[in-house]
Amino acid sequence: GQNIDQPTEMTATEGAIVQINCTYQTSGFNGLFWYQQHAGEAPTFLSYNVLDGLEEKGRFSSFLSRSKGYSYLLLKELQMKDSASYLCAVRDHDYKLSFGAGTTVTVRA
């Protein structure tokens, strides 16, 4: 099975940077995904890591260390619209996703 941990809540100021950590213990690893989910809406894909290192996509970056079972999502130049839940998900060798409980990020003016 999969055990995925991420903080429950984080608060940051508009324009700032926030880093959301995710640790995992898995019986099989085939990639790590980050999704954004606004209240009442579907999760939307943000980033994907399968090899160690940093992947950058605009204001969002994601890092993976497979040996440490660790990932983080970095949100830069925060905007009010970034207020949402951020889900860390680990994919197994059958391509199924196991999700963490999500981190609710609140951006304040």
Q: Quick one: 69 or 102, whose CB is closer to other proteins? A: 102
The interface region with other proteins, picked from 12-20, 34-42, 53-61, 65-73 by CB under 8 A, is: 34-42
The interface region with other proteins, picked from 12-20, 56-64, 72-80, 89-97 by CB under 8 A, is: 89-97
The interface region with other proteins, picked from 10-18, 37-45, 64-72, 73-81 by CB under 8 A, is: 37-45
Q: Which of 64, 73, 87, 105 binds other proteins (CB under 8 A)?
A: 87
Q: Which H or E run contains 106?
A: strand 103-108
As given in the structure block, the two tokens for residue 1 are: 């099975």
Residue 89 sits in the site that holds other proteins (CB under 8 A): yes
* CA 18 – CA 10 distance, rounded (Å): 8
